[in-house]
Structures are given as C-alpha cells and as structure tokens.
A and B are shown apart, each in its own frame.
Chain A
Amino acid sequence: MVEPKFFEGPQKGNLAAAYAAMDANVDVITAYPITPQTTVVEELSSLVGEEEFIARNQKTQFMRMESEHSVAAGLVGASYAGARVYSATAGQGLLYMTEMIHWMVGARLPVVLSIATRGLTGGGWNIWADYGDIMGLRDSGIMIQLLGTHQEIYDSILMGFNISEHPDVMLPLFPAYGGFVLSHTSKPVKRVPWEEAQKFVIPKRDEWEHVWIDSERPMMTGALIMPQSFYAEFRIKAHEAQLKAISVIKDTMAEFEKRFGRSYGNGLVEPYKADDADVLMIGYGTIAKQAEDAVDVLREQGYKAGALRVRTYRPFPTEDILKYIKKTQIVGVMDRAIAFGNPTAGPLSTDIMAACQRYDSTRNAKILPFIGGLGGRDVTYDDQIEQFKILFDLKEKGEAPKKPYKMWGTYWTGLITGSDKVPQGEEEYFGDI
C-alpha cells in the first residue's frame, strides 16, 4: 500500500473535511470555490489523483462547475443515480445553492455538504465565522450539525454518510464549522485507516429505495403534485424522517465510539459538567467548546457552572436539551448568528424557549439569550466568564442584571458600546405579561 501523504498530525479544518470525504469513498464531488471553503475543494482536486487512493482503485469523480447552483444541481443529478456525493460551500455560495437544496430535501437525496460558515454579505463584505448562512436554511429540511473541533469535522463527515444514507432518513446532511476559526486553523487530526473507514461507512447501494435511473424500469419523479394529491403528505414525510434521524444519529455515534474510541456526547448534544450545574450555558461551535474552559475556571472558584454544546441542530434534540434544562432551570443560550426580528434575535435561543413549553418541568425555566462573535469577532473567555456571572446573578437575585450591552432582552456579548451607560428604553425580559 502507498504511504498516505497525511495520516495524523496538525491539520487545517478544511483539509480534514477533504480527507473525510475521500475516506468515505464518495463517488462524485462537484466543486466551486468560495472563501473560507476554498481549500476543501482545492485539496480534493488533488486528492482524487493522489497515489494513495489510486492504488486502492478508488474512483472518485471530481467535477468543476460554473457556480454553486450548478454544484448543488450536480449533486442532485448524481444522487438520483444512486451515487454517494459530497461537496462544500460557504456563505453566499450556500445562498446561491438554496433552490437546489430544497430539491434535495423534497426528492429525499442523501447529500453530505459541509459548510465553512461565514458572515453574510450585504452592504459590507464579511468572510469570517458566523452561522447566519446555515441558520438561514434551518427549516429547509436539511440536517445540520454544528462542529467544535478539527477532529470532529473529519469524524462528522465520515459519520454523515451513515446518517444521511440511512434508509429511514434519506435527507441531506450539512456539517457546519466556523470559517477561519476551524477552517484555516490547525489542530491535531487523526484519520481513520482507509480499510476500517470502508467497514464503518454504510455499504453503497446500487440505487436508492425510492428513486433510480434504469431504462428497463422507467420511473418518474419531480412531477406536479396537485393540492388534493399528496404534496402535504410528502412534506410531512420529510419531517418524520428528521425525527427518525435522531435515533440514527445516536446509533451512529455509539458505533463510531465503539470502533474508534472517540465520541461527541451522544451525537446530538455534548454536555460538560452539566449534570450537577447550578447554571447552564448552551451554545454551539467553537464558542461552546471554549465555554468548557470558562466552566473549569468558575468551578475552581466554587461556582457550579455547566455547559452544553448543541451538536445536532436539525433534527432538534428537544428531549436531550430539556433533560438538562429541567435540572438547572437557569440557562443562557449563546448564538453566533442573528435572526433578525425573531423573538430573541437568536435562532437557537428561540428554539430552546419554544421547546421548553412542551413540559411543565421546563415551562418556568429562565432562559437568557446571548448573541456574540458575529462576523468572526473573537469571543474571549473573559466574555464567557461574564456571561456565566450574569446567570449566577439571575440565580441569586432573581432578576437578570442590566448591562450596557443588553437590549431588547438579549445580551449582545462583545458589543462595542463606547460607555457604560445603560441604553434607554431597556425593558426587563421577565415582565408580568
């Protein structure tokens, strides 16, 4: 066997993604570059010709397309034919793909497409970490995983095919990680040996169960569906598949851990000292990983802080999150994305508040929304200590403290306020309404 060019060592997040796709033995890669994803497809274009894979007779097709829309359309076409497909994009590229992404969901095609998330552009360019791009598609039916480490990028893409191509699921999966903060930084990554990866990844099928291309058995999909016909039912089917994916994700994580000894919580959420915590900080991505450091520091000072990282955002792990909220009742939710005009301005915090309404035991939990790190601004761990202090304040005094960066009930961590003046018209979040 040919010695691999890279097997273990410090590696960029983007390259970890590229290697994972190759180790999953994908059939078709369609590609169009966009910062900060570019090095994923750049690396793939050379990996498909890398001796290591040629020696193994791996026949991955790499196709350069003329736009992201075509990239997604290419994935749809190849997937219809039963191919295992992969691509990567970011920010505006993801937006341009959107039409075809809805097609993937509606046609139930198992695409794995990784996203190096970045700030969206309008009236000013931004290419740095911000989950606004992927959050914009949170209700499109795709599965979304928000990753926190370089190793996790590799592992999640490898696991991704087992989830996405599972016959009970058959939905596209988008593993997303912060642009630059993970894509361009390097940290130790270990590949799974190729042969073992082949044993782990779900066996390829000649064709999917519900769609195929065979002139002997012609079939048609994508036709007009009248209102009185089954359009509504097909939409609900996709929702059902999302819910079924919850157990598939857990099983895949357990199987991965059994084989390779690495795990990320149960695949849905990753708790950190959350079981006995007095206050809990929920977040995603690297910021949530960093919150674990803040928890350690606070625990040393005698504060019982805990953290919970939401790893799978769609399907939404309602039960797994509520389990911890039930225990702590005082919860902060940190978003690195802004959902303009929604009740808390944070996508995750709104989801969590809504989920809390499901049970009596969580209905009265106090949830404080935080937003920070937009457009790649560093969230330092001093910032995070302060977030926890706010939660402890709420616990001790019964009310959320005023801060110059608290507006409309949301704490805008890292906001440049210029002075310590409390903004005018600040309304208390926990009113008597």
Chain B
Amino acid sequence: MNNDKIFEITMHGRGGQGAITAALLLCEIAYADGYTDVLSIPKIGAERRGAPIKAFTKLSRNREIKNYAAVEDADITIIFDASLIPLPGVADAVKHGTVLVNTNQTIDVSKFPKECKIYTVPVTDIALKLNLTTAGYPIINVPLLGALTQIKYKDETGEMDLGLHLKTIEKIALKKFGSRGHLNYEAAVKASEQVKEIQ
C-alpha cells in the first residue's frame, strides 16, 4: 500500500441524506483508525432538502493535507442514491477509482469509465428494515460508511482497502449518537455484508 497517498473521496447526496455528516464521520473514523491527517469539506451553498449536494473527504496516513480546494478527480465516489447518477457533475465527474452506489437494483455501469471498480449496496432497504429513520427519512450515511470498509481501491501500485474498521464505526457512532448508535452500527454491519462488486 502506498502510504504517501492522500485519498480523495467525493460524496454525492441530497439535502437531508446526511452526506455532510458522513464526510465528517468518515474523518473521525479514519483518524481513529490511524490516519494522521484528515479533512472534510462540506460544500455549503443554498441547500434545501432534496437538492443535490457534495461533500468531500481527504484522508492521509503520512503527509499533511494542505490542499483545501474541492476534490475534482475523486479516488472514491459515494453516491447516496442512484437517481443522482445522470445529474451533471456526478457520474461524468468520475475519471478513475472506485464508485459506491446506494441502490437495490442494477445500475447502468456504462456511465462510468471502464477501469473503475463499482460497488452497490442497498442501504435504504437496510435502514427501513431496521427502522433506522429520522422524521420518516431513512438514515443511510452510517450504513454507507459500513459498506466503505469493504470496498477496494486500485491504482498503479496495486489494490488496497482503506483500512477502516467496523469496530471503529461502532465506537464513533456510540459517542456521537448515544443509544441510537447501536442501531446505526447494526445497519453498518448489515451494509458491509450486503455490499456487491458489480464491475
């Protein structure tokens, strides 16, 4: 594994889906799992519930992260629901790396470059089944991070995972969400089991 690599992750979500929180949680999880520098960047604008939004995370094991600009060419792209794929700046912004999509169906992989690894995970189903909701909305950000622990990233130096652990998610979820943390963790575990590599 290339220790000097700074992982750049883009999350595409909709207002209310928790993408910004996910970017922050991912930082905390990665920091607890041995990354020395992490950065989460929420792209704040005039967001409303349902509007497409982006959040970025950069993770580094050795080097200090000094670049505060938005991620342009993400190593890992997380798409919070499949209906975002055709929107401008989502699938067409993926140039390399790994894509993780929340869906319970099959997706059109031709929208992404051939060399990309693509994973799907039905986290909305998982959240609804576990009754993990807030104001009727399923909570999908923590489960998506659970799925993230299982995916692989490939570049010239070889294949690697991010080195994130479900146990850490449990620890952080309990700290952040109190008693609801258990349910979040349970969903994350389920997601990590149901994540599928489709390309």
Contact = CB atoms under 8 A, between A and B. Distances in A.
Interface of A: 9-10, 36, 127-128, 178, 180-182, 184-188, 286, 289-290, 292-293, 378-381
Contacts of B27: 10, 186-187
B7 to A, nearest CB: 14
Interface stretch (B64-72, B145-153, B159-167): B64-72
Nearest to A150: B39
Nearest to B36: A188
Count chain A CB atoms within 10 A of each CB in B24, B39, B67 and give the residue with the most.
B67
Contacts of A127: 44
Contacts of B31: 9-10, 188
B125 interface: no
Nearest to B23: A186
* Interface hub of B66, B67, B70, B72 (most chain A Cβ within 10 A): B66
Given A9-B31, A10-B31, A184-B44, A378 B38 contact: no
Interface string B82-94: 0000000000000
Contact of A10 (B24, B66, B67, B69): B24
A181 B66 contact: no
Contact of B66 (A128, A185, A290): A290
B41 interface: yes
**Could you say which of A127, A128, A188 has the most chain B C-beta atoms within 10 Å of its C-beta?**
A188
Interface residues of B, number: 20
Contact of A187 (B32, B37, B70): B37
B60 to A, nearest CB: 10
Contacts of B69: 290, 378-381
What DSSP secondary structure best describes chain B's contact surface?
Answer: mixed
Contacts of A381: 67, 69
18 contacts: A10-B24, A10-B27, A128-B44, A180-B42, A180-B44, A185-B40, A185-B68, A186-B24, A187-B40, A188-B36, A188-B37, A286-B68, A289-B66, A289-B68, A293-B66, A379-B69, A381-B67, A381-B69
B136 to A, nearest CB: 26
Interface in B44-73: 44, 65-70, 72
A380 B24 CA distance: 22
A293 B64 CA distance: 9
Given A180-B44, A185-B41, A10 B28 contact: yes
A10 B40 contact: yes
Interface of B: 24, 27-28, 31-32, 36-42, 44, 65-70, 72
Q: Which 6 A-B pairs have the closest CB atoms?
A: A10-B27, A378-B69, A186-B40, A286-B68, A293-B66, A185-B41
A317 B36 CA distance: 32
Nearest to A377: B69
Which residue of B24, B32, B42, B44 has the most chain A CB atoms within 10 A of its CB atom?
A: B44
A337 B24 CA distance: 29
Nearest to A287: B68
B16 to A, nearest CB: 18
A378 B69 CA distance: 5
A188 B44 contact: no
A188 B44 CA distance: 20
B67 A290 contact: yes
Given A184-B44, A289-B66, 7 more contacts: A9-B28, A180-B44, A186-B38, A187-B39, A187-B65, A292-B66, A380-B72
Given A185-B68, A379-B69, A10 B38 contact: yes
A271 B171 CA distance: 40
Contacts of A188: 31, 36-38
A290 B68 contact: yes
A306 to B, nearest CB: 15
A188 B28 CA distance: 9
B70 A378 contact: yes
A316 B197 CA distance: 57
A127 B24 CA distance: 21
Interface centre among A36, A182, A184, A286 (most CB of B within 10 A): A184
A39 B36 CA distance: 25
A48 B84 CA distance: 42
Contact of B39 (A178, A185, A378, A379): A185
- Which of A9, A128, A178, A292 has most chain B Cβ within 10 Å? A9
A185 B67 contact: no
Which of A127, A292, A378 has the most CB atoms of chain B within a 10 A radius of its CB? A378
A184 B42 contact: yes
A244 to B, nearest CB: 33
A181 B68 contact: yes
B54 to A, nearest CB: 12
B37 to A, nearest CB: 6
Given A10-B31, A290-B66, A380-B72, A186 B44 contact: no
B183 to A, nearest CB: 22
B20 to A, nearest CB: 9
B107 to A, nearest CB: 30
A286 to B, nearest CB: 5
